[in-house]
Structure 1
Amino acid sequence: MNNTREVAKRTIAMEAAAINDLQQFINADFEKVVELVAQCKGRLVITGIGKSAIIAQKIVATLNSTGTPSLFMHAADAIHGDLGMITPDDIVMCISKSGTSAEVKVLVPLVKNFGNTLVAMVGNTTSFLATEADFVLNTTVSQEACPNNLAPTTSTTAQLAMGDALAVCLIEWHGFTAADFAKFHPGGALGKKLYLKVGDLSKQHQSPQVLLNSSLREVIVEISSKMLGVTAVIDGNGHLSGIITDGDLRRMLEKNVPTNAVTAKDIMSLHPKIIQEDELAINALEMMRRHDITQLLVMNGDHYTGIIHLHDLIREGII
């Protein structure tokens, strides 16, 4: 097969065109569905069969993670007991390309008998599903990307995009924020970027520090024992005065100055980069990148509390 690239490009172009065509189907029904789901006291129960069922599961996952309680119900299982998951306050959305599959024809009258609002996401607006539904989200496509016009490709992509459009509108409706998102994603790197604080990481270490008049030996011992490659320098009142890193020690030794009289204040760097402990850890990473450094001194107001190191961020998967 010598035209692999052309086939791939054609597939992507066809699916992109199908998604773009969906804009003409964003109508009054779409607006009403967003409003009803946003104000629903129950959940949005989404059902389907075959590939549409897989798309339904993805849409449910997106909605749940962005603050809209949703539930997946397989259309085949629904007519064998799973209908019991539908409560009177729920809205039911059925996803289907044809709107005429046997399972859908059995399921739709049952849902209507329950009295629940029925939304159809369907690619055939004259189908049984479309005509029986209270509202229709039109996902009609001209053809599948499959060369035989059979395998669900363009049609499922259109369903997915329509589901994302619904989810994003609901995010806007509810004013769903990054902080809200973090509540539903506490695990993994994504969640940590949204909730993990600098203080959560710095408290895992000891807080290396020496006084202004500490000897060179005391500085080296402090840096070595705390194993962070750095120490803060504080004055007699406990206020931060500077920072000493491994690099500062190396540069001092390269100057061949007498070391017996060297104190911390002689080799420290003034104006160290600091960050407050209640800042997000991801902000610490951005600050390290901006200044091309690997650690920051952590503060609680004017009080030095510890160190956050690049390795902390790597270990937590933020990088």
Structure 2
Amino acid sequence: MTPRHAADDGSESTPHSSRWSDLDRPPLNVRALRRGLIRPGGLWSELELVQRTGSTNSDLVARAAAGTAAEGAVLVAEEQTAGRGRLNRSWTAPPRSGLFFSVLLRPHEVPVDRWGWLPLLTGVAVATSLSRTAGVDTALKWPNDLLVTVGGEERKAGGILAERAGDDAVVVGVGINVSLRQEELPVPQAGSLALAGAVSTDRDPLLRAMLRSLEDWYGRWRAAGGDPAASGLQETYAAGCATLGRPVRAELPGDRSVVGEAVAVDGDGRLVIATEEGAQEPVGAGDVVHLRPA
């Protein structure tokens, strides 16, 4: 087992991955993050930074099941080796090139049938905060992808994955490509904040902004009993959703697909597709592909 060493930023490092190994990608400052985010009466109760893990979502789900994590726990990794997206897709990136974190939420005041809004809520929080802090145009692809523009085309720069943790909790994971270079992209369709012309790729203020925005939106949504209209969430999501108004193909469970125009996101967070046959079909789960106009 490789020995671990305490770094002077409050995190840990290994001899093969020191804080000076990539000067363009400095480590996160966990002490400063805690000072800026954890406060009496606030949502965030603890923040832990690890150098390397398989998946922050898996780790936090396990802690929630074991009763060792409270609501508002935040787990951040400098590197994920088995990060997961929707449909069990993998998510990997070089160490310290992105922001990979998970949060534990227990929205007891909200009916369980409204918990499906949590990944969409997180998308709104992430997109709006990065637009302000990084200075890039962001958009959301239903249900949980963050898009940026690189060279005049849309690229995926981030994703969100929500998982139930027992009967009373949800773990929401976020992965954002921050400083990934063109040659480091896992697929040509990927992007990063740096490639989109971000004014800053300093991860500390970006992470603080995302978590503060998430706390704000979560508080509004919870205060409204999870009502997406009353909290303003449904309207804001629709305004920032690049999927709406476009021709799409939804690949559904059971090898079925629906093709048509994405016309709305309904009160349950489902994407409503108007088909050529004149039907309006709500899609609650599936893989959506943006099609080029005929």
Task: Specify the TM-score bucket, using the shorter chain as the normaliser.
Answer: under 0.3
TM-score under structure 1 normalisation?
Answer: 0.22
Which of structures 1 and 2 has the bigger CA Rg?
A: 1
TM-score under structure 2 normalisation?
Answer: 0.23
